[in-house]
Structure 1
Amino acid sequence: MAVVLRVGERTVTAEEILPLLAGYQMLPHLLQELLIDQAIAEIECSPDEVETACQQFYAQNQITSDADRQAWLNRNGMTPKQQEDWATRSLRIEKFKQATWGPKLESYFLSRKGKLDKVIYSLIRTQDLGIAQELYFRILEGEQSFAELARAYSQGPEAQTDGLIGPVELSVPHPTLAQMLSITQPGQLCPPTRVGEWLVIVRLEKFVPAQLDDAMRQRLLHECFNVWLQEQLSQINAMVPTGSTTPSAP
Structure 2
Amino acid sequence: MTGVYKVGETIIKAEEIPSRLKRYQLMPQFLREVILDEATASIACTEEEVAAAIEQFAAQHQLTSPEAQQAWLKSHRMTREDLEAIARRPIKLEKFKQQQWSHKVESYFITRKTGLDQVVYSLIRTKNPGLAHELYFRISEGEQDFAEAAREYSEGPESRTGGLLGPVSLSQPHPAIGKLLSVSQPGQLWAPRPLSEWMVLIRLEKFIPAQLDESMRRRLIEELFETWLREQIAEVGSLEPLQTEVSSVS
**TM-score scaled to structure 1, two decimals?**
0.88
Q: Verify: 1:47 aligned to 2:44, yes or no.
A: no
CA distance in 1, matches of 2:22, 2:187: 56
Q: Distance in 2 between the 1:81 and 1:138 partners?
A: 72
Q: d(CA) in 2 for partners of 1:64 and 1:166?
A: 43
- Give the corresponding residue for 1:119: 119
| Count of equivalent residues | 241
Match of 1:13 in 2: 13
Q: Name the SS for the 2:236 alignment partner.
A: coil
Gaps of 5+ in 2: 242-250
User: Which amino acid counterpart does residue 188 of structure 1 have in structure 2?
Assistant: Q
* Structure-2 separation of matches of 1:46 and 1:84: 12
Find the counterpart in structure 2 of residue 153 from structure 1.
153
Cα pair 1:19 1:240 within 8 Å, conserved: no
Partner of 1:164: 164
Alignment of 1:21-60 (within 5 A): 21-60=21-60
Amino acid at match of 1:167: P
Give SS of 1:204's match.
strand
User: Are the counterparts in 2 of residues 123 and 201 from structure 1 also a CA contact under 8 Å?
Assistant: yes
Q: Structure 1 residues 14, 75: CA separation in 2 closer, same or farther (over 3 Å shift)? A: farther
Q: For structure 1, which runs of at least 5 residues remain unmatched after alignment? A: 242-250
Aligned to 1:88: 88
Is the partner of 1:235 in helix, strand or coil? helix
- Percent of aligned positions with the same letter in both sequences? 52
TM alignment of 1:1-250, pairs within 5 A: 2=2, 4-64=4-64, 68-238=68-238
Secondary structure (helix, strand or coil) at the match of 2:202 reads strand
1:179 maps to amino acid:
K
Q: Deviations over 1:11-60 (max 9, x none)?
A: 22222222221211111110111111111112221221111112212233
Change in CA separation of 1:151 and 1:59 when aligned onto 2, cut-off 3 Å: closer
How far does residue 203 in structure 1 lie from its aligned partner after superposition?
A: 0.7
d(CA) in 1 for partners of 2:100, 2:13 = 39
